[in-house]
Structure 1
Amino acid sequence: MSVEQQRVALVDLLDRLLAGGVVLTGDLTLSIADVDLVRVDLKALISAVNDEVPVPWEQPV
C-alpha cells in the first residue's frame, strides 16, 4: 500500500489556513538566575477578510 504525495504550493496552504482562521498563542518569559523579570502572553487570531464576517470592534462613524 502506498501513500500518494501531493505538492502543495505555499499560497494554496496559506489560503486554506486563512479561510478557516488561525489562532497563534505563545508565552515568553525572560529570567536571570531563576528570577522572572518579564512575562509576555501572546494571542492572535489571523483570518481572511470577508464581508460576511462581522468586525469584532465598532467602526468609527
Structure 2
Amino acid sequence: MVTTALAPNSADDPLAYRPVALVDLLDRVLATGVVISGDITIAIADVDLVRVSLRALVASVGALAPPELTGDEGPPPAAGS
C-alpha cells in the first residue's frame, strides 16, 4: 500500500512556513491598527466585587488621520460663497 503525504495547508497555520520579523509585524499592526480588549473581574467567594472592561486601539496616527488634500484638487471653497 502506498501512502502520499498531503501538502501543508497554509490556512491551518499561516505563519508555520514563513518566518516574520518582529519589525514587519509591528509595521503591519501600526499601518492597519488593532483593537485589544479584555475583562478583569475581582471576586471573593464567588461574589464579583470589581469588574473592569478594557479596550485599546493601537494604530499609527497616519492610519487614523483622514487623507490630506493634494495639489490636484484645488483650493477649498471660500466661506459664504
- 2:31 corresponds in structure 1 to 19
TM normalised by structure 2 equals 0.57
Larger radius of gyration: 2
Runs of 4+ in 1 over 3 A off after TM superposition: none
**Number of aligned residue pairs:** 54
The aligned residue for residue 49 of structure 1 is 61
For the residues of structure 1 that align with 2:59 and 2:35, how far apart are their CA atoms? Answer: 9
1:32 aligns with 2:35: no
- Ranked by relative contact order (alpha carbons within 8 Å, sequence separation 6 or more), the top structure is 1
Give the % identical residues.
57
Higher helix share: 2
- Deviations, residues 11-49 of structure 1 (Å, cap 9, x unaligned): 101111111100011111000001111110001111012
Amino acid across the alignment from 1:40? V
More strand by share: 1
Structure 1 unaligned segments of length 5 or more: list them: 55-61
The separation in 1 between residues aligned to 2:39 and 2:47, in whole angstroms, is 16
Residue in 1 aligned with 2:73? none
